[in-house]
Copies of this chain bind each other. A is one copy, B any other.
Amino acid sequence: MNLINLSESAYLAMHSLALIARSQPKRLTVKHLAEELDASQAHLAKVFQTLHKAGYVESVRGPAGGFVLKKPADDISFLDIYETMEGPANMGHCPFGKTKCAFHNCIFTKDIHRISSDIYQTYKKIKLSDF
């Protein structure tokens, strides 16, 4: 079991966009990306539907089509991609979503919050252009 919460979708999204960013011209098809990342084409297609809706890529249909980056690579952080794929990052409060705790000063709170903040800042710092 992973200590951190990271889905295949987030992995595919980040790596695909990085591959597009460093390609010339900056446009790649889902088929090509699926082969390069050794991933399911169907799943990757779904990921790109989400990325498209979120405005990170422009789509070009037909032969010689594919997906194009819509923003500069250093304007896109992994945090952006993560939240696009997995939903908003849940910081603060009880990591278990409890409103009331049987423990006055639940020992989890402080540590978990520190770790969450660390992850948040790290994801924010990682830019597409770093790849």
User: Which A residues form the contact surface with B (CB < 8 A)?
Assistant: 1-6, 8, 11, 14-15, 18-19, 36-38, 83, 86-91, 95-96, 98, 100-103, 106-108, 111-112, 115-116, 118-120, 122-123, 126, 130-131
Question: A5 and B8: CB pair below 8 A?
Answer: no
User: Could you pull out 9 A-B pairs where Cβ atoms are within 8 angstroms?
Assistant: A1-B5, A1-B87, A2-B95, A3-B4, A3-B123, A4-B115, A11-B98, A15-B101, A18-B103
Partner of A38, one of B5, B38, B87, B100: B100
Question: A119 and B1: CB pair below 8 A?
Answer: no
A36 to B101, CA, bound (A): 9
Q: How near does chain B come to A28, taking the closest CB pair, in angstroms? A: 12
- Number of this chain's copies in the assembly equals 2
Q: Which residue of chain B has its CB nearest to the CB of A86?
A: B1
Question: B89 and A119: CB pair below 8 A?
Answer: no
Contacts A122-B111, A130-B107; is A102 near B37 (CB within 8 Å)?
A: yes
A119 to B113, CA, bound (A): 11
